[in-house]
Amino acid sequence: MIDSDDVLPILPRELTTISDEVRHVPAPAIPQIAAPYAARLADPDSDAELVSEWMNLPHLAQAWEYDWPPERWRLYLKAQLAGTFSRPFITSRKGEQIGYIELYRAAKDSIATRYDADPYDLGMHAAIADTKLVNRGIAPLIMPKLLADLFAAEPQCRRVMFDPDHRNLGARRLVEYVGCTFLGEHQMSNRRMALYVFPRTPDDIPEHR
């Protein structure tokens, strides 16, 4: 529930002008990741401090630029849970919390202005916070399994989109390694992104604008 005294931040990437078809698509489902990994919805009250601590780590502060205090994270998590645009998740490995993922409806996001979006397309932002696991080959191992699990959970989803900053070579190498197709670099309002797609089938690769 959203407290009446909370002033929720506007999710800056969420489009306000969309078709009824896109508007009625539900929020992303909770991914059922194969063991030993797992994902659960983030709780704004109990997880905000943890996510804030993670996002202030040097490698994530640089990549995400979301190095906010816990209170801002609490409101940001609540804002996601209040609508159908995106969902925040805490990921774990062998029961130990290791990272943060956001899944969002790409057709409701600003990236939809840069490619031929389908209403059920998903977008993903992922962060490994456990520094013992960074650059240890965990992400290339998890990502193909997670993508398969997302498609299984969302039968109508044709694609999963990724939009790292064009300078984020680590993220770009990862999505290229797992088989994503590059849809070009695009100048957005506050950054230049590199747009990638992982299609359910080869026929689901969209045109970019």
Tell me the catalytic residues: 163
Answer for the pair 107, 67: CB distance below 8 angstroms, yes or no.
Answer: no
Burial of 28 (0-12, 13-18, 19+ CB in 10 A): buried
What are the backbone angles phi and psi of residue 57, rounded to the nearest 5°?
Answer: -65, 145
Residues with Cβ within 8 Å of residue 76, at least 6 apart in sequence: 9, 11, 68
DSSP state of 114: G
Give the other-Cβ count within 10 Å of 123's Cβ: 24
Cα 118 to Cα 177: distance, rounded to the nearest angstrom: 24
